[in-house]
Amino acid sequence: MPTSLWLQSDEPRPGPRRAHTLDEIADACIRLVDAEGLPALSMRRVADTLGTSAAALYRYVSGKDDLLALIADRVAAEYDFAPLTGDVRTDVLAVAEQSRALYLRHPWMSRVQQTQLGPNAVRYLDQLVGALAPSSLDTTSTMMGVALISGWVTNFATQEGAGATVSDAGGGAEHLAAMLAHGDYPHLAALFAAAGGGASEPLDNDAAFVGGIDALLFGIAPGRK
């Protein structure tokens, strides 16, 4: 028997004809969470939004975990993938930039644990695997690469969504320079001395994001096209 929430939704069930689709339920969840945050998500609140009862909602999902799976996959429907070019960096960045924007639109997504992948999440996975395909990695290396890239995007966008900027990290360049002047930090001092005696050149979030992807790709697929 299929265990996927989305596959189960296609199975005939006894009782009245269903009044809602899984997408409609997911959309109601997302409206609620976008407006009030993830703690607001509950079977009763979603049922109220749909104009039904919590008991009726159990005909579609088994509980809150299913609601979380639905919203994670429904958000992934926002991806609009262009055809792959065959250039690994170009194609990975195209996916990563969309993913970054998605997490900024829905900051709560970083706290959703995806216990099962729906069709849209699998489509994201398929696109990223395709982006890495020209590197001719084996299955394990490819999936590890996907995990590393996805993790970087999630962590970066989470910090960015909270208002953090790369230039202000750790208190900013002036704070770090002051600390170096009043302590014994030989390795940091040598690094900045090599750069001209001061802190490094300012780095904006966009440059840092791309730099992180490039660094990951260097390790994942050093011979990438």
Structural domain of 134: 79-165+205-220
pLDDT band at 13 (very low <50, low <70, confident <90, very high): low
Mean pLDDT, the chain, integer: 86
The number of folded domains in the chain is: 3
Residues 73 and 27: their CA atoms lie apart, in Å, by 11
Burial 51-70 (b: 16+ CB within 10 A, else e): ebeeebbeebbeeeebbbbb
Residue 213: inside a domain: yes
DSSP 8-state secondary structure symbol assigned to residue 100: H
Least confident of 5-14, 31-40, 160-169, 186-195: 5-14
Report percent pLDDT > 90 for the chain: 61
167-216 pLDDT, tens digit each: 666 656 677 777 877 788 888 888 777 766 554 556 788 999 999 999 99
**188 and 100 belong to one structural domain:** no
pLDDT recorded at residue 1: 42
123-134 tens-digit pLDDT? 999 999 999 999
Task: Select the highest-mean-pLDDT range: 9-13, 148-152, 205-209.
Answer: 148-152
By C-alpha distance, which of 66, 68, 70, 65 is closest to 119?
70
Residue 25 contacts residue 70 (beta carbons within 8 Å): yes
d(Cα 118, Cα 88) in Å, to the nearest integer?
25
36/140 same-domain check: no
Tracing tokens 């394990």 back to the chain, one arrives at 140
Q: Which range among 3-12, 107-116, 149-158 shows the weakest confidence by mean pLDDT?
A: 3-12
Same domain, 213 and 139: yes
Q: Are residues 98 and 158 in the same domain?
A: yes
Q: How far apart are CA 95 and CA 211, in angstroms?
A: 15
Phi, psi dihedral angles at 223 (to 5 degrees): -100, 25
Q: Which two tokens stand for residue 153?
A: 């995007």
Sign of CA dihedral 27, 29, 32, 33: negative
Residue 225 falls within a domain, yes or no?
no
